[in-house]
Amino acid sequence: MRNQKELRYLITPGNVVASLVAVISADSAGHGQPLRPIAEDAHVERVTGARPKLLVIVVGETVRAQSWGLNGYARQTTPELAALDVVNFSNVTACGSSTEVSLPCMFSLRGRRDYDARDIKRSESLLHVLERAGIRTLWRDNQTGCKGVCEGLAFESFLHSDDPAWCDGERCLDEVMLDNLFETLDPAAGDRVIVLHQLGNHGPGYYRRYPARFRRFTPTCDTDDLGACRREEIVNAYDNAVLYTDHVLAKAIAGLDAQQGFDAGMMYVSDHGESLGENGLYLHGIPYAIAPDVQTKVPLFLWFSQRWAESYGVDRPCLRARQSAALGHDNLFSTVLGLMQVRTRAYDPELDLLSNCSNPARHF
Ligand SMILES: [Zn+2]
């Protein structure tokens, strides 16, 4: 125990009790108090008459960088995205090894570089800053909520949806979040930022995360009891779930591309990774300091409509030269501010993925 501290975190029920206490104390950190304002000087700077922007931020769930086709995984788990003009980043580190840690952190000003869980919980998020600048936000959720990120803001949950096209009475496939999404958007109402929080590869029931036609890697582990399956079967089910996420994202991009009235774009990033038997570990949530790479390295990509790429002067070769740079969730905050042309002293050009790879002078 003394020599292998990580063992402590593997012992049930001790780890469960410890995590529960951690979650309860984290949740109560900001309870009942107004959020501390950040970036109070935030405002949009753009020439009059410019097309409004529509940015979809997809928060992926439990997709690890090592299983991502665009990162060179031996299996092509992202065939639909590979056929699109997306800019993929292959060396991205998550802020946490769990949803509870990563979500508030990735939408925070502090991020991992200045991490303070309690202060992050008590402070406004990126979405509050966007709203202050006059950009309407919406958080659509097929998971367990936005963990405070969208507190007081527009929120729609599909947790208890019973849409027979996508839901089995227990959970819904992620495509449910695309229903009636683009049809209702009105360019005359201005800029929009929409967050889609996926169920993604949430385990251990990977086999329930995709429709039958995405069961391409076989045999699969078709039970929540991972101990009853061979490792190969678990990996197959997990990879099929990635294939389905690839499809959901490509479908969302097609919907965005059809938005004639907007400059449309997408950022996808997963919240954390997953262990699939490496070193005898499964699932995720190992304390960050000792979490293995498979739990902390995540996929991230950007997609821009032709109109956005032109109006923003997106320099794709410049971005591609940055594809394997060491990046992380900390890049989300300033990248989104930059993309939405929100000016504030809280913006850090060093963390904006597009700084020096776009031409703000060309904005029109
Ligand atoms: Zn998660």
- For residue 271, report the distance from its CA to the centre of ligand 1, in Å: 5
Distance 274 CA to ligand 1 centre (A): 9
Q: How far is the CA of 281 from the centre of ligand 1 (A)?
A: 17
157 CA distance to ligand 1 centroid (A)? 16
- The alpha carbon of 272 and the centre of ligand 1 are apart by a number of angstroms equal to 6
C-alpha–C-alpha distance, residues 204 and 13, integer Å: 18
Q: 264: which strand partners?
A: 54
Q: What is the pLDDT of residue 161?
A: 92
CA of 187 to the centre of ligand 1 (A): 32
d(CA 278, CA 281): 6
How close is the Cα of 203 to the center of ligand 1, in Å?
Answer: 9
Tell how far the Cα of 195 is from the centroid of ligand 1, in angstroms: 15
Cα gap 163→165, rounded to integer Å: 5
Check the CA dihedral 305-310-315-316 and report its sign: positive
Euclidean distance between CA atoms 6 and 40, whole angstroms: 42
pLDDT per residue rounded down to tens, the chain (364 residues): 434 445 555 555 545 444 444 444 444 444 578 999 999 999 999 887 889 999 999 999 999 999 999 999 999 999 999 999 999 999 999 999 999 999 999 999 999 999 999 999 999 999 999 999 999 999 999 999 999 999 999 999 998 899 999 999 899 999 999 999 998 899 999 999 999 999 999 999 999 999 999 999 999 999 999 999 999 999 999 999 999 999 999 999 999 999 999 999 999 999 999 999 999 999 999 999 999 999 999 999 999 999 999 988 999 999 999 999 999 999 999 999 999 999 999 999 999 999 999 986 554 3
Question: Residue 151: its pLDDT value, please?
Answer: 97
Q: Measured in angstroms, how far is the CA atom of residue 339 from the centroid of ligand 1? A: 25
Report yes or no: 240 and 206 within 8 Å, Cβ to Cβ. yes
Ligand 1 centre to CA of 62 (Å) is 5
pLDDT at 275: 98
34-362 classified as CATH 3.30.43.10: no
**First-to-last C-alpha distance (Å) of the chain:** 61
Q: How far is the CA of 130 from the centre of ligand 1 (A)?
A: 24
Handedness of CA 330, 120, 138, 251 (dihedral sign): positive
Indicate the domain borders of the chain: 34-362
Distance of alpha carbon 108 from alpha carbon 329, whole angstroms = 10
Q: How far apart are CA 38 and CA 129, in angstroms?
A: 7
- Exposure of 142 in the CB half-sphere (CA atoms within 13 A): 28
Q: How far is the CA of 103 from the centre of ligand 1 (A)?
A: 8
Residue 117: count other Cβ atoms within 10 Å of its Cβ: 18
Task: Quote the pLDDT of residue 26.
Answer: 46
Interatomic CA distance for residues 242 and 256, integer angstroms: 21
Name the helix (H) or strand (E) containing 126. Answer: helix 126-132
Instruction: Classify strands 53-60 and 282-283 as parallel, antiparallel or unpaired.
Output: unpaired
Residue 12: per-residue pLDDT: 54
Q: Looking at the DSSP assignment, which residues form a beta bridge with residue 195?
A: 57, 139
DSSP conformation class of 142: S
CA of 197 from ligand 1 middle (Å) equals: 10
> How many A from CA of 165 to the centre of ligand 1?
25
Ligand 1: distance of its center to the CA of 147 in Å? 11
Looking at residue 359, what is its pLDDT?
Answer: 85
pLDDT for 191 equals 97
